[in-house]
Amino acid sequence: MKSLRHAVALLVPALLALGATLSFLVFGVARRVVTPMRRPVDTRILAIDTGAQTIELERTDDTELPGRYGLFTTGTYGYVKIGAVLSADATSVRRKLLTKIETGARVDGGASFSGYYYASPSELHLSWQNIVIGSPAGPCPAWFFPAESSTWVIQVHGRGATRVECLRAVPVLHAAGFPNLVVSYRNDGEAPRSRSGGYALGTSEWRDLDAAIAYALRHGAERVVLMGWSMGGAVVLQAAVSSSHRERIVGLILESPVVDWRTVLRYQARKAGVRAPLPDLAMSALQRPLMARISGADDAISFDRLDMVTRAAELRAPMLILHSADDGFVPIASSLALAQARPDLVTMPEFGIARHTKIWNYDQNGWSAAITEWLQDQGFSASA
């Protein structure tokens, strides 16, 4: 009996320590889910030839991709554009520099690979305006590119991104005659910060998009097409089923979209080496108000509400899904499941190799043609 009491006395602190450790890990994972990301240093610059205007990068899945991209850097230049792959070996890739680098300029070795390409709206050489949209979160800055149609396209960027991400789509949409409203939303670094400063994965951000829809309708739009990039896809899908203006939403364009967060977070956890059941425990914590706030969210996040495969019957607007088969960040599985659940609404051309939100960069012509053809198939035109 004495030995049993001794064993229990030793076991209880161990169990308490295990519980505390598990709680720490769960809240750590949950906090990573809702905390806005900093731009990662994921690319190594090995050399720059200012005479030939070429750049040598460490070879990765991103740096070996054909097409046009950008690098966020430190030193003389904050952002440089890179073009075609000129040569490659097992460890490095040499590419054309599209930003002229002067002799003597300093570009540090660490950089962040980007599909943004355009760094500001002025680079598009189109008429545009800075505007502010009043939302429940406060004044949200936006860019407006006017055109002739009374059908406006409203673009929503993704997680850890800014409005600049959306600029790639403006030229093809503008060429088709559609005004573009490129918006920000709470906690993205441009729009106002909420109490916690954390993402709600679409469950509250859609209200800022709804305010943008209302703005468009007050300023001449009769209908809107919503375009969402990555997490912006989740924001768009929430607006499509929740907006008080949903009867005016006549189409959705989803670029590498988050359709179901559970699938995405489990996938990203596996890639990061976070083992089960931690991802599911973290999502469970985020669904409870107190634990969500401890994790850095403003309120509980309903992953059932965010699962648009199971909610597919609620969708009404036709949609174009642009998703690379080897996305590498947001798996294509949920997009395919949504297409299977709503073949009457979903058009989903096949793309591969391009990875996450970089189809334009890899295959600009194919990507642009898919959008143009879909707009025509839906009967949208500059006169409507």
Average pLDDT over residues 206-216: 98
How far CA 206 is from CA of 3, 87, 171, 237, 352, in Å, comes to 60, 44, 25, 8, 29
Burial degree of 376 (CB within 10 A; 0-12, 13-18, 19+): exposed
Domain spanning 121-260+306-377: which superfamily? Alpha/Beta hydrolase fold, catalytic domain (3.40.50.1820)
β-bridge partners, 252: 226, 319
- What pLDDT score was predicted for residue 8? 41
Cα distance between residue 349 and residue 367, in whole Å: 9
Amino acid at 240: A
In tens, the pLDDT along 56-111 reads: 999 999 999 999 999 999 988 889 999 999 999 999 999 999 999 998 888 999 99
87 backbone dihedrals φ, ψ, rounded to 5°: -165, 160
18 — pLDDT class (breaks 50, 70, 90): very low
Cα distance between residue 72 and residue 107, in whole Å: 10
Hey, is 255 helix, strand or coil? strand
In tens, the pLDDT along 265-318 reads: 999 999 989 888 999 999 999 999 999 999 999 999 999 999 999 999 999 999
**Is pLDDT of 14 > 60?**
no
- What pLDDT score was predicted for residue 28? 84
In tens, the pLDDT along 171-199 reads: 999 999 999 999 999 999 999 999 999 99
Q: Which residues of 326-341 are buried (b: 16+ CB within 10 A; e: fewer)?
A: ebebbbbbbbbbbbeb
Angle between helices 278-286 and 2-34 (to 10 degrees): 70
Hey, is 295 helix, strand or coil? helix
Amino acid at 104: G
37 — pLDDT class (breaks 50, 70, 90): confident
- Is residue 209 within 8 A of residue 239, CB to CB? The reply is yes
**Is pLDDT of 5 > 60?**
no
In tens, the pLDDT along 313-354 reads: 999 999 999 999 999 999 999 999 999 999 999 999 999 999
Cα distance between residue 305 and residue 301, in whole Å: 8
Neighbour count for residue 86 (Cβ, 10 Å): 13
Average pLDDT over residues 138-165: 97
Neighbour count for residue 170 (Cβ, 10 Å): 22
Q: What percent of the chain has pLDDT over 70?
A: 92
In tens, the pLDDT along 106-140 reads: 899 999 999 999 999 999 999 999 999 999 999 99
pTM, two decimal places: 0.93
How far CA 271 is from CA of 4, 244, 262, 358, in Å, comes to 43, 38, 14, 20
Q: Provide the H-helix boundaries in the chain.
A: 2-34, 170-175, 205-218, 231-242, 261-271, 278-286, 289-295, 333-341, 359-362, 364-377
- What pLDDT score was predicted for residue 192? 97
Cα distance between residue 68 and residue 81, in whole Å: 7
